[in-house]
Every structure is written in structure tokens, then in C-alpha cells.
Structure 1
Amino acid sequence: MISKLLDPQSVALVGASPKPGTVGYVILENLVTRFRGAVYPVNPKYDEVELWGRKLKFYKSVSEIDATVDVVVVATPAPTVPSIVEEAGRRGIPAAVVISSGFAEAGNQELEQRLASAARQYGVRLLGPNCIGVYNAFSNFDTLFLPLDRAGRPPPGPLALISQSGAVAAAIMDWAARRGIGLGLVVNYGNKADVTEVELIEHFAADDRIRVITIYLEGFKYRGEAAKFLNAVRKTVPKKPVVVYKAGRGRAAQRAVRSHTAAMAGTYEMYKGLFSQAGALEASSVREMFDMAKALATQPIPRGPRALVVSDSGGMAIQAVDALEALGLEVPEVPESIARELKRELLPFAAVSNPIDVTGSATDQHYKVVLDALLPTAFFDMALVITLMQVPGLTKNLAEYIIDSRRYGKPIAVVNFGGSELVQRFEEVLEDSGIPVYPTPERAAKALWALYKYGEIRRRL
């Protein structure tokens, strides 16, 4: 019944409130104003309330709702939660999202055990407690208690995020929304009294809307969870990539993990080995995780490690070569026969050995000449294209030339840096057409490395 947690058609909100500024108010507003399914507010203090231009009927309990309910969202004080979940189970509701905190993470293990026991007894699949729950951009099922003006909601897209931290999940969503990154499904599981990241990985592996699974992980609660995680990821990776950022690497950070989500941090070396065995790509930061995911969701897998670098800045080209080679990718020289052709087409002072420096006097056509001459050949497996649009000879048409190069079936990552309207529009056109853009050569190189590494992992598994 994981699907009822993530893709419900109807929801009951226990703890719904007409009082602005409360958790129950924000979640109710999310659901009533944007969710495409049916919403049933539950709070015994109210009968009918006018909110957001409509009259809302409040129910005294979930037992009073005379309609099918797929999921109950609970936002009430912790001591009341087990009985609410038990009532939902007797009512036949198959899933529950428990927003409430004050369970094992606060030292109340017995209360959490009672909650988990009630869910098991009635077959209710439980997400949480101590979580922000689910954001589904496809249906606008949104249990976040953070107002839209403070935490943006990203558009539908091919990325899924599984996060052990609610605040991190919300911050990532806000960051993705500001950049137009398509984050279709986000799940924060909190204390994972029932549903774990393993089941979520398995669910997303089978979801055709999702191309890349990203995971923010702090730690496992029990030793046996590591083996289950390994098996789930290994089964998933041949179908789609899994990118993980592990927080809580040092000793002090591990203490924070235990108090945050009642998780066992474990040694970082253990997790690093686990990710390698499972075939997950490990990121060193949240930003790097999404740099990789963006490329993995949009670009083909390269056949080999050989990168073409083309740039209108010699300095940026050198940085790109350093970054690529530091990651184990290759930057081979252009064959002499093709180099002679390029010399005839490019400016006399252009460098044509790889990196190819079309210089600050370049035009859009110079990039097109390089890409059309080299990407179709067997000498290069991918391209890192640096386009500093401050150069006077470049126009918005360059984006179309780069997009057209997709026909060669090789991954492309673009580096573009600046704040002018032309720069921003240039990036938007590329990103909208599925070409990932990064502000530095190092980040673009890591994205290309992720594509190559995933190809290696998939062949191995």
C-alpha cells in the first residue's frame, strides 16, 4: 500500500485547523487549494468553516467520514496519535502519514512502539512519525507544514528524493523550485517506525515517472537495514541510477544524527563501502547530488571516458581539463587530420588540440564547427562545452547549436557563468531542452563523471 501513501486519491487530515500559523492550517491549505483529490478535515472543535472562498465541513473523527479515504495525515500531539491510527485502521484506511513529533527521537520509544503496533495490527502502512511526509508534484498531494511563500514547491519532473531529514528535504525543494528543477516526488520518513527508505527505493524503481532516485541519508536504526538497503539498490541500479549523500560522517555529527531521527549513524567507512557494493553513486554534498542527478536524468550514458572540451576561455578550459583528469576521465588530443580541418574553419589563433579554445573572438558558428566535426567521431565519448556569453560574438542561437548536437547521442554538459539577462535566458533554453548547465568546470566535470561511472556500474551489475 505504499502507493496510497504517495499517490492517494483522497485524504483525511486529523488536526486540521482554521487558525493561520498552525501546522494544521498550513497542511489544510496545501490540500484544499492545490491537491487534485478529495480532502476531509478532521477536528472535533469545528462543524463548518469558510476558508479560501469555500465552505469546509469538518468531521469529528475519521469514523464519521462516509467516503473512501486512501490516507490519513495526523498532526496532533504525540500521545493522541496511536489511538487515531488505530481508529483509521478499524475504518479501513490503508495508510497514514504521521507529522507529529515527540516519539523515539525525544526518548519516547515506548510511545513509538505503541504507534507501530497499532499500525501493524490493522495493516496500516505508516510513514513517520516526526516527518514532513510527502510532496507529489504530479497530483499536488502535499503534507508539508511550511507555507509556500517560505518554502517553494518544485515542478513535476524525473527526480525523486528520499530524505531522512524533513528540514533538508524542504530546503532542497525550495532550492529546486527556484531553479526549475523537476523534483516529482519527495518523501521524508522521519523515525521510520514502519516504512523505510528500502521500500521507497523499491517503489520508485518501478515508477516510470522517475528516472533518478536521490537519497539524503543520516543512518540506519538497525544493523540488518544495511543489507536490505544494499539489496534494494543493487536491484534498482540496472533500471535507473541511485545517488546518495550520507550526512553524519564525523564523531560529533554522529551524535547529532542519534538525537535527530533516532538513527544509528555507524562509521562513514562502513557506509562508503556499502554504497560501492550496492552500485549507488555517492555525492559529497546535496548540491553535488543534484548536479549528478540532473545529468543522469537528461543525458545518455557514454561509451567511454574520453571528453571533448571546447571553450571561449583558455583559463576555463584548463580548469575543465584539470577537473576531468582528476576524476579519471581522459582528454585525448584531436587527431591531426581533423585538427587541420578545424584550423581552416576557426580563427587563426584558435587552439585545436583539445581543449579547443575558440577564443574570446568566437562566434556561434565556431562552436557548431567543432561539435559537428568531433562529436560524431569515435574519438570522443562526451563533451564539456564552456560558453562565457560575455564574448560579443556569441548570441542566443548558440543554444540551438548545442541542443542540435544531441543528435550525436553523446552526453553534453555546459558551463555558463554570469548574471545578465542573456546568460540567464541562454541557460533556461538549454535546461528546458535537457542540456544540464553548471556555473563551474568542476561541477560539469563531476556530472560527466557520474554518467561514465553509472555506465560502468550498470555493466558490472
Structure 2
Amino acid sequence: PVRVLGPNCIGIYNAYTNFDTVFLPADRAGRPPPGPLALISQSGAVAAAIMDWAARRRLGLGFLANYGNKADVTEVELLEAFAADHRVKVITVYVEGFKYPGEARRFLETARKIVPKKPIVAYKAGRGGAAQRAVKSHTAAMAGAYEMYRGLFQQAGVIEASSVREMFDMAKALATQPTPRGRRVLVVSDSGGMGIQAVDALEALGLEVPEVPESIARELKRELLPFAAVSNPIDVTGSATDEHYKIVLDALLPTAFFDMALIVTLMQVPGLTKNLAKYVIDSRGYGKPIAVVNFGGSELVQRFEEELEDQGIPVYPTPDRAAKALWALYKYGEVKRRL
């Protein structure tokens, strides 16, 4: 039988084959490059906006499926299709609500089967009363009590985002980084203020920022600047060079004391060069997840960010967004152990 996607949708975009039913011109809705992310979206306009946003950021959104009012094909079939495709590393889902009897149960059962092999990140729109009225008139879905969806995601092992931006912040890390063994984070920064913000954000999410063991701290004191802070967060200070980051990462990432790293690289500091990217990329060899915070607008900042992202290191403009990405990696590890 012929299956039907929609109605009230823009259909499918496949960056690998250029199969494209999106009827909007590329100057309005850019086409993202092939990559490890897939998007399942109930809303067509949201899907088109995400496509355009991803294309401008060179974010590898290899597949997009907008299913609209789901007269036939639903989220479940799309989840199964992307689960079976080896090119998809993370499935993202923008959902407004279920509308048919048994749909929530089928979503739960399907997601539970997929999640041990491949992460699913979802953003549920229509949480409050006024938003739920809008959902009903938009895609004819029943938004339902948000608590029900939240419980459904938790049971299924789906990682829930609080916005579209957060969904892709987390998906980018999940697609490129290994799963951490625990929740202990090393924070390295050339800005004391950014380091403190990072620690606040990590601890608010239930992640740990343990002190550096005394023996290693003494060694770092000898090799870093005399006024550097070596306790965690490690503040290599505004007088840092590329080599100071390398010293810290080589001394601490291979140890059993830390499970992942949040690295703040404010490139406005005069001693840093584009070669710092190589040291950060090399530290992937220790097999632990890394998220980088790089904030600013200069050409140096942009080139540095592009080099890291091209080599599979996720970069974020603020510490809270990098912290949430590391939390998603930790959360997915917990989910895999549970399911």
C-alpha cells in the first residue's frame, strides 16, 4: 500500500541524496549539509526554520521529516526509519502532541527499543493552558497534560530539551562525544569569571566538579604561571599560552579523577593562537567527552570554532549551554545502563 505523510506538512529533506520535497527556496530556507543528526518535526514552519538555522551554522542535519497532521505516517514509523539508518547518530524530535488512541504507548515502546543503541532528544511544545489551545488548532493534536509527556520521555529514556536550541546543543554533543563513565567534570578556563559560571551551571545540573588531587596540583603549580589557580576550576589566567592548556589537559584527562572536560577558551587573551585548537583536538585521544566555550565575534574566534567543530568538538558561546551538553552525555550513559 502507498503510505501518506501529512497532510499539512513540507515533507522530507535528505541531504545525502538531495531528495527534497520542501517547497521553500534555499535563500529562505537553507539546506543543511549531510551529517549525523535527523529531525522529526510535527510543525512545518519550525522544521523549515531549523533547516535554515542549521545550514547557516554548518550543522550536519542529514535528514528532516515533517509529518503535520499525521493521517497515516506518525512519529513511530519515522523513529524506526532513522533508527535503522547507520548515518543517523542522534534523532531529534519536535512534538506538539498525540491524537490517536494508543499512540503514546506505541511511541514509548518504540523509543525504548531504540534508545540503548541511539539517543533520542525531544522538545515538547505546548506545555501551558494557552499553548495547548494553540496546539489543538495548529496540528489538530491533543497537547494533553505536560506531566504525562514528561513521564513518557523519562520512561522511554528520551532526553528532554526545554527549547529547540537546547535540543540541538545536546544532540551535537551526543553525536560527536563518547559516553562518560561518571559525572565528574574538569573545568579549564583562561577567565576566572567564566570558570565560576561553568561550575555554577554544572553543579545546578547535578554534575560534580571535584578538586584536583594534591600531588597533581603541586606539579601544575610548577608548570603554570605562579598566579594560576589549580584546584578545579583551573584558571590558567588571561596571561595563558596555548601550552598551558596542553599541560593541564595532558596532566588530568588521562587520570581516573575526571570523566569529562569543559574547556573555556576566550581568544581575546593575547597569548592564545589558533594552534590551541590542535591541543584540544589531540586531547580527544584520552577517550573522554569534551565541550568548549568560545565567546566573541572576531575572525580568529570564528576560525577557531570552525576548526574544532569540523574535528567533532562541540563549541558553545556560554558555559551554561556547554554544561547542559555534558549533562546530556551523562544522562544518556545513565539511561543506557538502566535500559
What is the TM-score of this pair, normalised by structure 2? 1.00
Instruction: Confirm or deny that 1:363 pairs with 2:241.
Output: yes
* CA deviation map 1:241-280 (0-9, x unaligned): 0000000001111111111111111110000000000000
Instruction: Confirm or deny that 1:315 pairs with 2:183.
Output: no
How far apart are the structure 1 equivalents of 2:236 and 2:194? 12
How far apart are the structure 2 equivalents of 1:419 and 1:322? 25
Q: How does 1:185-224 map to 2 (within 5 A)?
A: 185-224=63-102
Instruction: Confirm or deny that 1:163 pairs with 2:41.
Output: yes
Structure 1 counterpart of 2:96, one-letter code: E
Q: How does 1:427-442 map to 2 (within 5 A)?
A: 427-442=305-320
Instruction: Confirm or deny that 1:402 pairs with 2:283.
Output: no
How far apart are the structure 2 equivalents of 1:148 and 1:178? 11
Aligned to 1:348: 226
Which SS does the other structure have where 1:214 is aligned? strand
Which SS does the other structure have where 2:4 is aligned? strand
How much does 1:237 deviate? 0.3
How far apart are the structure 2 equivalents of 1:460 and 1:132? 37
* CA deviation map 1:282-327 (0-9, x unaligned): 0000000000000000000000000000000000000000000000
How much does 1:223 deviate? 3.6
Regions of 4+ moved over 3 Å: none
How far apart are the structure 2 equivalents of 1:207 and 1:459? 23
Structure 1 counterpart of 2:185, one-letter code: A
How far apart are the structure 2 equivalents of 1:413 and 1:222? 40
* CA deviation map 1:91-122 (0-9, x unaligned): xxxxxxxxxxxxxxxxxxxxxxxxxxxxxxxx
Which SS does the other structure have where 1:318 is aligned? helix
Structure 2 counterpart of 1:309, one-letter code: V
Structure 1 counterpart of 2:106, one-letter code: K
How far apart are the structure 1 equivalents of 2:336 and 2:78? 21
Instruction: Confirm or deny that 1:151 pairs with 2:29.
Output: yes
How far apart are the structure 2 equivalents of 1:325 and 1:423? 27
Aligned to 1:34: none
* CA deviation map 1:170-216 (0-9, x unaligned): 00010000000000000000111110001110111111010000000
How much does 1:354 deviate? 0.2
Question: 2:300 aligned to 422, 427, 450, which one?
Answer: 422
Structure 2 counterpart of 1:165, one-letter code: S
* CA deviation map 1:329-375 (0-9, x unaligned): 00000000000000010000000000000000000000000000000
Which SS does the other structure have where 2:336 is aligned? helix
Instruction: Confirm or deny that 1:390 pairs with 2:235.
Output: no
Which SS does the other structure have where 1:125 is aligned? coil
Structure 1 counterpart of 2:62, one-letter code: G
* CA deviation map 1:111-142 (0-9, x unaligned): xxxxxxxxxxxx11111111000000001111
- Which structure 2 residue ranges, 5 or more long, are not aligned? none
Instruction: Confirm or deny that 1:237 pairs with 2:115.
Output: yes
How far apart are the structure 2 equivalents of 1:358 and 1:209? 39
Question: 1:292 aligned to 147, 155, 170, which one?
Answer: 170
Which SS does the other structure have where 1:424 is aligned? helix
What is the TM-score of this pair, normalised by structure 1? 0.73
Q: CA RMSD for the aligned pairs?
A: 0.4
How much does 1:224 deviate? 1.0
How far apart are the structure 2 equivalents of 1:417 and 1:375? 23
Aligned to 1:457: 335
Question: 2:323 aligned to 445, 451, 457, which one?
Answer: 445
Which SS does the other structure have where 1:127 is aligned? coil
Structure 2 counterpart of 1:301, one-letter code: T
Q: Which has the larger radius of gyration?
A: 1
Instruction: Confirm or deny that 1:377 pairs with 2:255.
Output: yes
Instruction: Confirm or deny that 1:280 pairs with 2:162.
Output: no
How far apart are the structure 1 equivalents of 2:58 and 2:208? 32
- Which structure 1 residue ranges, 5 or more long, are not aligned? 1-122
